[in-house]
Structure 1
Amino acid sequence: MVKYFFYIEAVDQDAGPHRYVLGSHRRRILRHQFTLLVGQPAEEIERIYGPDAIVTLTGAEGFGFAEDTFGFHTGTLAKSVPRPVLDVGFGVSEKLHRRFHGEPVVH
């Protein structure tokens, strides 16, 4: 699946920016490939992929980006204002409905 995201309003560090782990869509460790869980603890993701691989996406109103959703990604907690975002996804299978328990999680 590929998703396109567009910020409806400007997003800075305090408005819950999106994060993506570079390379995680193509080089997941074996345990992450065969888990029943979608998300993984943020500390584990940083330890395995390195802090330099985690990209935080801030931008002006209308800023857009695309991502391969097989890679680890998450929206961060909005501290000051909500983060309205439009997301459009394209894939070859029906959308899965999953629930997550526990924070923080990078999925």
Structure 2
Amino acid sequence: MAKFIYFYRGPATSLSDLTPQEGAARTAAFGAWMERAGAALVDVGGRFGSGISVRDDGTEEAAGDLTGYTIVEVADLAAAKALTAGLPFLAGNDGKCAVEIFELRAM
């Protein structure tokens, strides 16, 4: 088994921007996805706050559009990709959102 990190990329929507019904539906959908993921879900992760990008030449700029992460443990990259099926983050955003998946390796 290997660990993979999902980086969520796209516009962040705060739960405070949603109606109570929309917020409840989003929370329920993510809960259902977590149940389907089961034991493969190692770290449900979290949302990112404000950030900055520091370059190798010492300059700084605004951080990119990463909004959060999740860590799963599955057999391989194909299984990590398959586990994104039904992930609410990828629903209804007309291609504006993506999950970037990377295997976590020891240093």
TM-score by length of 1: 0.32
Structure 1 or 2, whichever has the larger Rg, is 2
Structure with the bigger percentage of helix: 2
